[in-house]
């Protein structure tokens, strides 16, 4: 005897990882789903709601390759958000002058060659 119950499978975003690899602008996104089809890691799925942007299921598996952003026909509807470890700014402060510096700054100061105090 066959059951008359319909079984459905639901996919929901990964709740474990709080990061976001990409962000959609719902005003600009036309829900064409080109980004879903070109994604190299299959982290996107079409939204079940018609006219809504795709859903980012597994942000921790994104390669940050940017193919979804490049192939999008509507510029500005997808923004790449790089991981935190690439955007951390390392600062240091010189005790003698009190000036603050950071890695990667333009015109960095001369290196401090004085030996450390003992």
pLDDT tens by residue, the chain, 118 residues: 555 666 666 565 554 445 678 899 999 999 999 999 999 999 999 999 999 999 998 888 888 888 999 999 999 999 988 765 444 556 777 777 888 777 667 777 777 777 877 7
- For residue 32, what are the domain limits? 22-83
Q: Whole-angstrom Cα distance, residue 118 to residue 111?
A: 20
Quickly count: other Cβ atoms within 10 Å of residue 72's Cβ. 19
The domain that contains 27 carries what CATH number?
3.30.70.20
Residue 17 domain-assigned (yes or no) = no
Which of 46, 24, 28, 27 has its CA nearest to residue 37?
46
- What is the structure's pLDDT at 10? 59
The end-to-end CA distance of the chain, in Å, is 86
Residue 37 domain-assigned (yes or no) = yes
- What is the structure's pLDDT at 47? 93
Cα of 85 vs its chain's centroid, Å:
11
The conformation of residue 34, written as its DSSP 8-state character, comes to: H
- What is the structure's pLDDT at 6? 67
The conformation of residue 7, written as its DSSP 8-state character, comes to: P
Residue 71 domain-assigned (yes or no) = yes
Residue 1 domain-assigned (yes or no) = no
- What is the structure's pLDDT at 86? 46
The answer to whether 14 and 59 are in contact (CB under 8 A) is yes
- What is the structure's pLDDT at 8? 66
- What is the structure's pLDDT at 115? 80
Residue 72 domain-assigned (yes or no) = yes
Q: Which helix (H) or strand (E) holds 38?
A: helix 34-38
Residue 73 domain-assigned (yes or no) = yes
For the entire predicted model, the pTM comes to: 0.56
Q: Give the pair of three-digit tokens for residue 100.
A: 């603050």
Residue 2 domain-assigned (yes or no) = no
How many domains does the chain divide into? 1
């Amino acid at each position: 005897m066959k059951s008359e119950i319909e079984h459905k499978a639901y996919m929901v975003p990964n709740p474990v990882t709080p990061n976001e690899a990409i962000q959609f602008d719902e005003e600009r996104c036309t829900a064409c789903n080109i980004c879903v089809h070109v994604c190299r890691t299959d982290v996107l799925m079409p939204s079940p709601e018609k006219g809504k942007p795709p859903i980012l299921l597994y942000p921790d598996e994104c390669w940050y390759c940017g193919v979804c952003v490049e192939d999008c026909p509507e510029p500005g509807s997808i923004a790449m958000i790089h991981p935190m470890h690439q955007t951390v700014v390392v600062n240091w402060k010189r005790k003698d002058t009190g000036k603050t510096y950071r890695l990667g700054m333009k015109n960095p100061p001369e290196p401090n060659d004085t030996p450390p105090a003992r």
